[in-house]
Amino acid sequence: MVNKDQSSSSFFSLRCTCYILLFLSSFSSFLFMYWSYFSINPQISINNQNNQDINLLTFSSPWNLLHFPSEPPPTFLKIALFVKKWPEKHHAGGLERHALTLHLALAKRGHEIHVFTSSPTNLTSIGNLHFHLSNPTAAGYLDQSTVWKQFQAENLSQPFDVVHTESVGLMHTRSRNITNLAVSWHGIAYESIHSDIIQQLLSPPEMASQSSILKERVSKVVEEIKFFPRYAHHVATSDHVGDILKRIYMLPDERVHVILNGVDEEVFKPDEDKDLKTTFGIRESNKSLILGMAGRLVKDKGHPLIFEALKQILSKNSTFKESVIVLVAGDGPWGVRYKELGSNVRVLGPLEQTQLAILQCD
C-alpha cells in the first residue's frame, strides 16, 4: 500500500519539475529575443539555381537539397570530423549514417577529410579520406585526450578550414576555443523529456513511478544549456529541435541552422518490379496490409510504446491479426521482444540501404 506522505511527495516533486520547465521556457523566450536582436550576422554566400545569393549562416528556412556543379569547387577545404564510431556496412545508426553520407560526398568533391574516431583497426585511409583511430573509453565514447592530441598534430601542419562534430564527439571542454566548429545534434535532453512523459502516462499502474528519471532529464537540460554555447554553430535535423535550441537553450538565431536529413533518390525510389512479399518471404496470400519500421531497436526510439500497441491490437482485433504483417528492420534489444508477438511481426535485422529501399510498405 502506497504511503500517503510518499504519494504527496512524489506529486509535489513532479509539479516542481513542471514549474521549472515552464520557467525555463518563459525566461528563455525573453533572452532569445534580446540576443537575436543584438547579435552579429556573419556573411558567407553561395549561389543557388536562380543565381541569387543565399547566406546559409542566416538562412531561416530548413533545407536539405544542394546541387553541386559538375566542375570542381573553387576552393578545396581541409575538414576535421569527430564521430564516436564510423559505420561498418549496414551496422549504423542515424548519427553514423549522417557522418558517412555527408563526408564521403565532400571527399568526392575533392575536399581533404580527416576523421577522428574509435573504430576497428582495419579501417584505412582512402584517397583524401584520412582516419585517425583511437581506443574508445569504457563508456564507448571518444578518448578526448587522445583525439585532441591527434587533432592538434594534424592542425599544426596545416590548419583546418572547418571542424565538424557529430553530437558530442568532441566534448565542449575542447570545443570552446574553436571558432570554425559546427556540431550536428542527433538528440538532446529536452526531447527525451517529452518521450519520458508519454511513456509514464501510458505505463501500466503497477510500474514504478518515473519521476526520478524526469528529474534527471531536467538536470541534463540545464547542463546542456550551460555548455551548448561553447560550440560555434549548431545544426538541427528538424524544425522542432531548431526551435528548442533557440527558445529553450537560448542560442542566437544566426548560430542555429536547420538542415533536414536527406534521402538518396538514386537508392530510395519507386520500383514496381520489386515484389515486397517475395523479397521478404511473405507467403500468406491473405495479408493485404504491410506495415514497416526501421531504426535502432532501443527504448529511446519509443519501442516500448510501439510494442505495447501492437501487443494489444493483435490480441483484441482479429481482422488486424488476419490481414496485417509488420516488418521490423534494425538491431537492438527490442528485436527479441518483437519476436514474442508471433508470426504477424517479422524481425529482419539490420539491412543495407539498398535492402531498405525495397521495404516500400503500405
Tell me: the pLDDT tens digits for 303-318? 888 888 899 999 898 8
Give the range with max mean pLDDT: 139-153, 272-286, 299-313.
139-153
pLDDT of residue 152: 95
pLDDT of residue 273: 57
Do 276-358 and 38-42+53-65+75-258 fall under one CATH topology?
yes
More confident residue, 303 or 197: 303
Q: What is the DSSP letter of 169?
A: G
CA distance 332 to 21: 32
pLDDT of residue 238: 86
Place of cell 544566426: 254
Question: What's the burial of 6, exposed, middle or buried (CB within 10 Å: 0-12/13-18/19+)?
Answer: exposed
Confidence at 171, pLDDT banded by 50, 70, 90: very high
Determine contact, residues 142/116, Cβ cutoff 8 Å.
yes
pLDDT of residue 285: 65
Q: What is the DSSP letter of 97?
A: H
pLDDT of residue 40: 32
Element (H, E) at 88: none
On the question of pLDDT at 37 being above 50, the answer is no
Q: What is the pLDDT of residues 248-277, one digit of tens each?
A: 999 999 899 988 877 777 777 766 656 666
Identify which of 51, 59, 346, 305 has the alpha carbon closest to the alpha carbon of residue 199: 305
pLDDT of residue 274: 62
On the question of pLDDT at 61 being above 70, the answer is no
What is the mean pLDDT of the segment spanning 200-205?
Answer: 70
Question: What's the burial of 191, exposed, middle or buried (CB within 10 Å: 0-12/13-18/19+)?
Answer: middle
pLDDT of residue 121: 56
**Candidates 2.150.10.10, 3.40.50.2000, 3.40.30.10, 3.10.20.30; CATH matching 276-358:** 3.40.50.2000
More confident residue, 286 or 293: 293
Determine contact, residues 237/261, Cβ cutoff 8 Å.
yes
CA distance 236 to 253: 12
Which residues, listed in sequence order, are joined to residue 88 by a DSSP beta bridge? Answer: 91
What is the mean pLDDT of the segment spanning 161-184?
Answer: 91
Identify which of 74, 151, 152, 64 has the alpha carbon closest to the alpha carbon of residue 101: 64
Determine contact, residues 270/353, Cβ cutoff 8 Å.
no
The pTM score is: 0.70
- φ/ψ (deg, to 5) at 157: -70, -40
- φ/ψ (deg, to 5) at 223: -65, -45
Identify which of 95, 85, 182, 87 has the alpha carbon closest to the alpha carbon of residue 143: 85
- The pLDDT mean for the chain works out to 77
- Angle (CA) 53-55-56 rounded to 5° is 125
Q: Walk across the sheet containing 129-133 and list its strands.
A: 129-133, 112-117, 78-82, 162-166, 181-185, 233-236, 256-258
* Whole-angstrom Cα Rg for the chain: 23
Q: What is the DSSP letter of 177?
A: T
Inter-residue long-range contacts of 214-222, CB under 8 Å, 24+ positions, other chains counted: 214/14, 214/17, 215/13, 215/17, 217/189, 217/192, 217/193, 218/17, 218/20, 218/21, 218/193, 220/189, 220/192, 221/24, 221/189, 221/190, 221/193, 221/248
Residue spans per domain, the chain: 38-42+53-65+75-258, 276-358
Question: What's the burial of 269, exposed, middle or buried (CB within 10 Å: 0-12/13-18/19+)?
Answer: exposed
User: What CA–CA distances, in Å, run from 123 to 41, 79, 129, 154, 242?
Assistant: 40, 19, 11, 18, 34
On the question of pLDDT at 218 being above 70, the answer is yes
Task: For domain 38-42+53-65+75-258, say whether CATH 2.170.8.10 is its number.
Answer: no
End-to-end CA distance of the chain: 47
Write out the three cell numbers for 41.
550576422
If one counts every other C-beta atom within 10 angstroms of the C-beta of residue 43, the result is 9
CA distance 44 to 42: 7
Confidence at 50, pLDDT banded by 50, 70, 90: low
